[in-house]
Structure 1
């Protein structure tokens, strides 16, 4: 291991501790009003504590959940291009959430049913993609996976369009919210749900990260090391669907965070999941906080949908990864 790599890894823990604090402060203070007004005026304190703080916290938690889902799905399918949005999980969850919106506009439904439906929609989409994408030859598994994800996303967009055509005016506005992504509906309910899922994942996954490392060697090698590959894939599918379902229910479809964050983390610390996962989670949360601050200020006093911002930032990264993978395969 090179000296520069050792130095980078020594700074991982300080980064994980300092970056969230800095970006949360940045997100809370970003806006058209001055800091003095926010701290001194009664209206400013109300905006700070009841609007900006919940929004920034929810942005960080959603980014962390999407990054965690990205690490899991990339580790299970051994594909650096895998992302919950690219491979159709977000689309499947959004379709189920849109179905909830349409039905709830005509009859009362409990709020907890929305993330439950989004969970099953995301899990179904992910299982279909894995079935289609991983059934091809191993050397072409990446191409099959991306193409399967594109197919599911196209179908999801068509179904959302159909639901939009059938929806009432109020339901149509909510479906548009899911499609573009927004944090304007931030509240403590979703913050609690996201925090609960992340805490449960924190208790569940650390002891199983070495099994994900073994999967990077290939399924045959992982089985020889005692890893139940099928069981690990199902665990990852369930957790990815759960995290994406909560995120989509809270903010709509936000793409590329689950792709960019693990990629940056691997560049900084290597491929071992015990180092990649915490750093990717922190980077994902910070990226979404920064994207939300940009969305609130770039067209102020209006607000740009955060899904547009993350797509504009993530698409060039995805293209660069595609080109790099193409060069690697050509060798």
Structure 2
């Protein structure tokens, strides 16, 4: 009976996401509704704007929202900490710092890597902070307050470094750094969507597959070990997958806070703490929330856009 309710909620979220995609596709500074486009020739510039500007941005919002909310749910379960989040714990800041370094010092990465250079930088930064938090969480004296303080410290230190980078950069680099720090989906293109999907979807499938192991980890490391789980290996896999999700998201959209913190809690109120349902529902909820926020950001004061 409960499984039927959970399935109904998942289908409801899928339906809501489809409605929001249609709403977002029809919203903007230009009237690009489907009914209006049908009456135009396919080579009309409005078709080009709809297909190559608006739709890639919508798809990017969906993919990034899925990644952020899912990684937030995993981290809250992994650290057994309701405040765990990529932004609160400094993981997004670590990814953004490495992207900032790649912007100011592009020679660090081979030119042949192109966009993947920023992906690699963001992934490396997020993985480094994930490992730091994981090592700290192994401390027997680690608690909720100390974990939050660690995240605040990481954000403060990286914020200071980003300030130095902003001072060192030229006008173009400063603008790029500002967009990264505020979060922006305006650079969406089909190439960018393809790159994001190629990294985020496999990572999502990986964490969905580990949902049962994540449920067992909620019992404690010792009990999970007795139930046949290789605790350290599962934690390493989950950290690696979270680093891929967060690093890719920061690389394509900059820092977008609180999606990974708020959405899992909202879903948990309706579905409980079973990660078999929590993870896919959080992914759908994150996609809905970020898509709705991005739609309002580009329409409330159109044609001006709110970062």
Distance 1:107 1:72, change over 3 A: closer
The 3-state SS of whatever aligns with 1:262 is helix
From 119, 136, 154, give the equivalent of 1:115.
Answer: 119
Q: Which runs of 5+ in 1 are unaligned?
A: 306-331
Distance 1:226 1:17, change over 3 A: same
| Residues 118-197 of structure 1 aligned to structure 2 (within 5 Å) | 118-137=122-141, 141-197=143-199
* Higher RCO (Cα < 8 Å, 6 or more apart): 2
2:292 is equivalent to residue 290 of structure 1: yes
> How far has the Cα of 1:251 moved from its partner?
0.7
2:105 is equivalent to residue 103 of structure 1: yes
> How far has the Cα of 1:201 moved from its partner?
2.5
**CA distance in structure 1 between the partners assigned to 2:140 and 2:156 by the alignment:** 21
| Contact 2:79–2:137 (CA under 8 A) maintained in structure 1 | no
Distance 1:6 1:210, change over 3 A: closer
The 3-state SS of whatever aligns with 1:205 is helix
The 3-state SS of whatever aligns with 1:94 is helix
2:28 is equivalent to residue 20 of structure 1: no
**CA distance in structure 2 between the partners assigned to 1:239 and 1:190 by the alignment:** 20
**CA distance in structure 2 between the partners assigned to 1:88 and 1:96 by the alignment:** 13
**More displaced 10-residue stretch of structure 1: 149-158 or 16-25:** 16-25
| Contact 1:130–1:145 (CA under 8 A) maintained in structure 2 | no
Residue 326 of structure 1: aligned partner: none
| Contact 1:90–1:248 (CA under 8 A) maintained in structure 2 | yes
Question: What TM-score, normalized to structure 2?
Answer: 0.91
| Contact 2:77–2:214 (CA under 8 A) maintained in structure 1 | yes
Residue 70 of structure 2: aligned partner: 68
Distance 1:144 1:240, change over 3 A: same
CA root-mean-square deviation: 2.1
**CA distance in structure 1 between the partners assigned to 2:146 and 2:137 by the alignment:** 4
**CA distance in structure 1 between the partners assigned to 2:12 and 2:156 by the alignment:** 38
Q: Which runs of 5+ in 2 are unaligned?
A: none
> How far has the Cα of 1:231 moved from its partner?
1.2
> How far has the Cα of 1:152 moved from its partner?
0.7
From 81, 84, 107, give the equivalent of 1:82.
Answer: 84
| Contact 1:133–1:144 (CA under 8 A) maintained in structure 2 | no
